[in-house]
Amino acid sequence: MKRIKLVVAYDGTRYCGWQIQDNGVTIEEMLNRALTKLTGEEIRVTGASRTDSGVHAKGNIAVFDTETRIPPEKICYAVNQYLPEDIVVQSSEEAPPFYHPRKCNSLKTYEYRILNRRFPDPVGRFYSYYVHWPLDADKMAEAVSYLKGEHDFAAFCSAGSQAEDTVRKIYEASVKRDGDLIMIRLTGDGFLYNMVRIIVGTLMEAGRGLWEPAHMKEILNGRDRTRAGTKAPAKGLTLVSIRHLDQMPREERNTNDWIDYTLLRDETETGARVRMILHACRESERERMIRRSMARAFRDGAEEFLFREEGDPEWKVFRRQTRNPSDSQKI
């Protein structure tokens, strides 16, 4: 049995999102059908990002297990014969048996396109959101800059989200205008339910001059969904890429109003290790952030999580099988 990793691109216009549903055709369903026909096995894929209805992708990731003798690198060519023109498998390769696309450390990049001019574009209507009133892209760019870093994004999460933790880290956030097109790009370690589309709707308020860009910081810190803007339509959103741990920085500094810490990632003889140095932290957030960082490290495959506060020479060590702080030991 082999585990195969696919990179998938699709036009989401006529699909009810990624995940299989009873009320419409989905990307996951089409991939399952095509791979089942190709291999003669009952195939079920697992996707890295379960995009919503109407959302597009240039680089989503999916995996499946198979006993097929088709060489892994040839599967992409073969399966595309069974797929419609609006779904394309761009590459295929064998992955480690433990690889899970939603349980590994990754960065996702999304882009949202707004067509900002007097008249709509009938040709590109499914790939951008048409807005006829003037938008100031410079003000939008200033507003989005307040979202960089690690924050609690509860204000940008739709009701019905199953996320227990609403803290995420945004590595890159930009707004650029190219003629009539305004492109909003966000790269982060994860996104809440409808988070990107709500951010876009909020940025458009800044672009219309309803409030000054610095007000974005108040919306973010308020953690109140009613203070953010409306959710932008799905059709302007594209999942651009997903990058995994080996493409991420080995050292990163995280700083905002309530916490300041450094994460160090390295490899040891016993496996991956994550070390956290806490420089400063709001006392009410301290335990939650330590536990969250530890849980994420283990989720992403680390065998050890080490923690110390700045000025303390000794590390508290937590191993995958003994996560409880009472089981820690010092080195």
| Residues tagged active-site | 52
Please give the Cα distance from 304 to 105 (Å, whole number).
15
DSSP state of 121: -
DSSP state of 310: T
Cα–Cα nearest to 207, from 256, 260, 135: 135
The beta-strand segments (E) located in 96-207 are 106-116, 129-131, 149-152, 167-178, 181-188
The answer to whether residues 60 and 48 touch, using CB atoms and an 8 Å cutoff, is yes
Please give the Cα distance from 274 to 264 (Å, whole number).
6
Task: Tell me how far CA of residue 259 lies from CA of 197, 220, 256, 284, 289, in angstroms.
Answer: 27, 15, 6, 11, 9
Classified as helix, coil or strand, 158 is coil
Task: Tell me how far CA of residue 245 lies from CA of 48, 92, 99, 108, 266, in angstroms.
Answer: 14, 19, 12, 12, 11
